[in-house]
Amino acid sequence: MLNGILFGLKKFFSEIGSGDMVILFSSLILSVTAISGVGFLSDRFQRSIQEQASIVLGAEMVFRSGAPIDDHYIQTAELMDIKTAETISFLTMALSDGGNILSSIKAISSTYPLVGNVTVILEGQSKANLDLNQPLASTVWVEQKILEALNISPGESVTLGNKTFKVAGTLIDFPDRSTGFLSFSPTIIANDYDLEEMGVIQAGSRVVYRQLYSAQPSQLESFLIEVEDDLNGVQVQKVSDLEGQLGNSVTESSQFANLAALFTILITLVSSMIAARRYAKRHLLNTTLMKVFGASKKFILWSQISQLIMLILMATFIGCLLGFSVQALLESILSPIINRDLPPPTARPLWLGFLTACCIVIAACGPYLRILGLVEPIRLLRKEDTQGSKSEASIYLFSFLIFGLFLLFLFNDPRLVGSILFALLGLIILLAGIGYLLIFSTKLSPVFGGYGWLMGLRNLSKRSSENLLQIIVFGVSLTFLIVLAETRSDLVNTWRSSLNQDTPNYFFFNIQDYQLNEVQGFFENEMEANPEFTPLIRGRLIGASSASGSPIDVGRMMQRESNLTWFSELPDNNSIKEGSWWDEEDEQRSLISVDGQAAKSMGLSIGDQLEFNVAGENFTVTVKNFREIEWESFSPNFFFVLSPSVAKELPQSYITSLKIDNDSEAVDVFIERFPTITSVDLESAMDQIRTVIDSASTAVQYIFVLSLLAGILTLVASIFSTVEERNKENAVMKAMGAKQSDILQIALAEFGALGLVASITALFVAIGFSAYISIQIFETSYSPNSVIILSGLLGGFFLILLTGMFVVYRALAVPAVQTLRG
Amino acid sequence: MNKTILEVSNVTKNVSSPEGELTIVNDISLSLEEGVFASILGPSGSGKTTLLAIMAGLDLPSRGSVKLFDKEITNLNEDKRAQIRSKDVGFVFQSFHLLPRLSALDNVMMPLEILGAKDAKERALKALDEVGLSRRTGHVPHQLSGGEKQRVAIARAMVKNPSILFADEPTGNLDQSSTDNILELLLGINQQTKTTLVVVTHDHSLAERSDVVFELQEGKLKC
């Protein structure tokens, strides 16, 4: 064994320069780079998203309620060594001599925040402080927008309710920013000690009470089990609930990266198998000679295994280094999304890279090692040139199984792996079927074309198994590349279309019925805009009854006021998921349309009844349909939409949105003329989202380059795998008097037909795959991209044709006699 | 009288073919003494290469026995037979079978490296020197002529000083001048080192210079 290992290692560096080893080595490096690069990034993203989710909550778990939350939860938690804090938030007017502004007040306890930092520039300082917890009693920290509106500076006073506070600093940032009704108003952070003296919280005031908890997940779980039976009216928010909502584009770009890595591995597996086949063919003589000279099976096996282990280790090392560089590059591109330092990666991607290389080598080379082990030394005397008795089909089956096991390890989801393998098998069978038809058709006598074309097409059937394999290899690689290009383009387009140049950047609330015409006129005359006005009805869900008797859980919805609206027609960015939109027959009925996800969480069914209270009046409506809403669109979206007959008589205001140029002074004029209408500027938020989308798009394109490289490598490897045989054939033909142009014409016909069949088949299959991936995985719409489809078709066809022609052209430069002498 | 190095008794080799079972070698018995130069002569398809393979332990007979160095090799497994070949048997092929990516020196070193010999390089250089190729050690096969390739193959076969050298049509791919040179080289080895030489050939002139000739006709030894 030791002799075999030493022999193998000694020969490794003379072997590594051979064409097949270069392809095998490059394939391994590419796949390790892809899996480790994506692995490093996903690993760090995952951990970052968990941390960000904690910051959004200001804790690992939060109890939230519209009414004061009982203290005994805090006491129980503290007994269990869980850190706690409390916040109380509400809206009130902040007053000064210079003005007033509606502000969101956040009264915090001394232990706030549990996760993240409150960033404040204290009075008289220029640098931000990050290690503050709570303002001193009778002082507050105030956001810049409030200072500007009140015309005051830090050190001056602001009045909240009955108490006047000294502004101790400018509030820059804090965790658990609200996303509800409080979020439209700038924030003031106060000490909870001062709350009573402010005297602004009265019976019926809209207040959000939060209890914050921070500890290990297991401790929090135990705590939750302890108290969950008496959590009446208290909503529990956990980090895990928020992870999915955070960084949608980050999650989607990670998903794309995983998909690209998977396809890259698949493509590199194919190129590795081609290389392994060549490696085995080349080593046939080597191995047989070794046997003739007395090498044992073990000696041969270990000499080859040692070479492959060296290959795996070197590829893992180089691949992981490149992978780390790729993720560093992606991290820098994605930095606007991440907006903070990512935590360091774990060692998992390194192991994953190593495992990928092992899996590819075992899947691609394993069967050939066995063939080489079984080769009989007598074949040298018989002048045989076969690879042994093992059929190619059993080799591919073995590779397929090994790859399946690897995917199972990677995803730990037998159903998903089953689907991938089933789709792959289907693709191979389809390509094989079409390839077989092409090859079979060339056996029939063509009715057109000269000698070169006839010979070229006949060559397809002459090397039928080789050509069938090439059609499959070309087809699979091209399919994956087109699918990735299509998916990438679709994803980026969907992200971008959610925020195009005409997306509204201003929202206007609280437009009263009597102001409608005047506001409409202002927009038309001053801004040349004609926006739609959506009715807004403030109401509260107070009850529900099921038509079928099944339980309905509307507790969460009943805790807060809801924004209702009404429409005659289904809005553009909504679609019906279940039921139907109201028609003329429903004109007099009291109906409601509910967001599909909200309906699911409440356990609602079509025909159930909901009871609302609007301005003291109760009414009941029947659920007519469930809608799917594009929440990404910057249009007003509503959980509940009433039918016109029930809503028209209810007290309502209007909301509208429009795009206003940044340098326009019209908004200032509008605010001056309509002081009671609230305007919200979303430009900075949209800028941030635009940056996020651009970064995610760029990252996705870089990942795609890896797959593209793998695909090109596979196509080139596949064509070069037949180079020796083609050289011999060309030499014989030249010796028999064929002209160079004849040989080139034959190659043109052969590779042209191969390229055309593989590209067209790949194209159709890719469209199907892309649609499935876009709709099922990324949940976006799919429309074939004609540029990508045409580039895929032409790119694939010409790559196959030109590489093939290059191989043949190069062979023509070698004198026939040299090739024939071997 | 010299010691018997190889003894073949009633060896028959049958193979399956689309036309049914074919007998390639039919009930052959022969023996060779140490240091002889034996030729196996016969037309194409007469079974001479199969007989050579069976004698060297590269293939097993369907019936009969083969004793090499007094050891019955037909009941040994492949690895055990390989072990015998690794030390005491050399091979030369018609198509040379040099490894194309390795230099002449590396090709000659290979059998010694399989044995784990520490002085492989020195011995390989000496073997190449003995076949007149000391100035071609760094050349790869495609840089050598046919005669030179066969010299490298002979150096590779002789580098471990085998007791017996099997050669399958060693001059079959060579011109007359190279044939003469290779023939002289093989005869020289046989005479100087007393290595038993078994050569399969069509060439009657080569057979005439051997100590003993076995002529095969349709798998049978011609008397």
The answer to whether the Cβ–Cβ distance between B82 and A296 falls below 8 Å is yes
**Which pLDDT belongs to residue A635?**
67
Q: Cα separation of A256 and A265, whole Å?
A: 14
**Which pLDDT belongs to residue A188?**
92
Chain A's closest residue to B95, CA to CA, is A383
A253 burial class (0-12, 13-18, 19+ CB within 10 angstroms)? buried
A381 vs B79, B106, B168: nearest CB? B168
Phi, psi for B99 (deg, rounded to 5): -75, 120
Is residue B222 domain-resident? no
Is residue B131 domain-resident? yes
Q: Cα separation of A386 and A259, whole Å?
A: 38
**Which pLDDT belongs to residue A191?**
93
Give the gap in angstroms from C-alpha A326 to the nearest C-alpha of chain B: 36
**B120: amino acid identity, one letter:** A
Does the pLDDT value for residue B204 go beyond 50? yes
Give the gap in angstroms from C-alpha B96 to the nearest C-alpha of chain A: 10
Q: Which helix (DSSP H) or strand (DSSP E) does residue B86 occupy?
A: helix B78-88
On whether ipTM exceeds 0.90, the answer is no
**Side-chain half-sphere exposure of A101, counting CA atoms within 13 A:** 22
Residue B114 in contact with partner chain A when CB distance is under 8 A: yes
The answer to whether the Cβ–Cβ distance between B91 and A293 falls below 8 Å is yes
The answer to whether the Cβ–Cβ distance between B58 and A299 falls below 8 Å is no
The answer to whether the Cβ–Cβ distance between B114 and A292 falls below 8 Å is no
Does the pLDDT value for residue B168 go beyond 50? yes
**A277: amino acid identity, one letter:** R
B149-158 average pLDDT score = 89
Give the tokens for residue B217.
């006709």
A293 vs B53, B85, B95: nearest CB? B85
**Which pLDDT belongs to residue A672?**
72
Mean pLDDT by 10 residues, chain A (822 residues): 78 75 82 79 66 70 84 89 91 84 88 85 82 87 87 91 92 70 72 89 75 87 83 73 53 66 76 77 80 83 88 91 82 63 75 87 81 74 54 76 82 77 83 81 63 71 75 79 76 65 73 86 84 84 80 66 83 84 82 86 86 85 86 70 85 83 73 71 60 62 68 72 72 72 81 83 81 72 80 85 82 65 52
Is residue B223 domain-resident? no
Which domain does B182 fall in, by range?
4-217
Higher pLDDT among residues B176 and A560, named by residue: B176
Identify any residues that bridge with B25 across adjacent strands, giving them in sequence order: B13
Give the gap in angstroms from C-alpha A17 to the nearest C-alpha of chain B: 10
Count of domains in chain B? 1
B129-157 average pLDDT score = 87
**Side-chain half-sphere exposure of B25, counting CA atoms within 13 A:** 27
Q: Cα separation of A580 and A589, whole Å?
A: 14
Is residue B171 domain-resident? yes
A739 burial class (0-12, 13-18, 19+ CB within 10 angstroms)? exposed
Q: Which residues of A touch B85 (CB under 8 A)?
A: 292-294
What is the DSSP pairing of strand A187-191 with strand A139-143? antiparallel
The answer to whether the Cβ–Cβ distance between B101 and A15 falls below 8 Å is yes
Give the tokens for residue B188.
């020289």
The 3-state DSSP class for residue A203 equals: coil
- pTM flag (> 0.80): no
Please count the other Cβ atoms lying within 10 Å of the Cβ belonging to residue A49.
20
Q: Cα separation of A482 and A478, whole Å?
A: 6
**Which pLDDT belongs to residue A245?**
47
Residue B84 in contact with partner chain A when CB distance is under 8 A: yes
Residue B84 belongs to domain with CATH number: 3.40.50.300
B51-70 average pLDDT score = 89
Residue B61 in contact with partner chain A when CB distance is under 8 A: no
Is residue B73 domain-resident? yes
| Closest to A713 (Cα-Cα) out of A18, A29, A206, A17 | A29
Q: What is the distance, to the nearest Å, from the Cα of residue A712 to the centroid of all Cα atoms in its chain?
A: 25
A292 vs B85, B95, B115: nearest CB? B85
Instruction: Give per-residue pLDDT as tens, A335-348.
Output: 665 555 666 777 88
DSSP code per residue over A69-93: PPTHHHHHHHHTT-EEEEEEEEEEE
**Which pLDDT belongs to residue B20?**
81
DSSP code per residue over A56-70: HHTSSEEEEESSPPP
Instruction: Give per-residue pLDDT as tens, B101-128.
Output: 788 998 899 888 888 888 889 999 998 9
Chain B's closest residue to A383, CA to CA, is B95
| Closest to A710 (Cα-Cα) out of A383, A480, A470, A397 | A480
Tokens 């194209």 correspond to: A763
The 3-state DSSP class for residue B43 equals: coil
